[in-house]
Homo-oligomer: A and B are copies of this chain.
Amino acid sequence: MTEDRFAATPQPPYWAVIFSNQRADGDAGYADMAARMVELAAQQPGFLGMESTRDASGFGITVSYWASEAAIAAWKANAEHQEARRLGRSQWYAGFELRVARVERAYRMRKG
């Protein structure tokens, strides 16, 4: 019943992009662009899944999972994604940390 929020990642190794961010006030097209980026990322070669959550204060963490560093580089170079990143820096985020990491081990638990 809770499976849909978890990314169905394969056995490690694979890669993770950890994006911790604080939203700025107002929407200014954010919701539409965020939905579009999820759709677009899912079409990229090497995309393995995404997990995302945000609390009422606007602090969010999104982790996307990728098969390789090359897949992350190709996504970073995507033109539509580049425009979204530009708007993110100028309008949507008060701050962020983006970390690129290689997943070495993974453990899972599910009930129900």
Rounded to whole Å, the gap between the CB of A50 and the closest CB of chain B is 10
Q: How many copies does the complex hold?
A: 2
Can you name 30 A-B residue pairings with CB atoms under 8 Å? A2-B95, A3-B95, A6-B20, A6-B97, A7-B97, A9-B97, A16-B18, A16-B101, A18-B18, A24-B111, A51-B97, A53-B60, A53-B61, A55-B55, A56-B56, A61-B61, A63-B63, A95-B108, A95-B109, A95-B111, A97-B108, A98-B107, A99-B103, A99-B106, A99-B107, A100-B103, A100-B106, A101-B102, A101-B103, A102-B104
A-B contact sample (13 more), CB < 8 A, given A16-B18, A54-B55? A2-B59, A5-B59, A6-B22, A18-B18, A63-B63, A94-B111, A94-B112, A95-B110, A96-B108, A98-B108, A99-B107, A100-B106, A101-B104
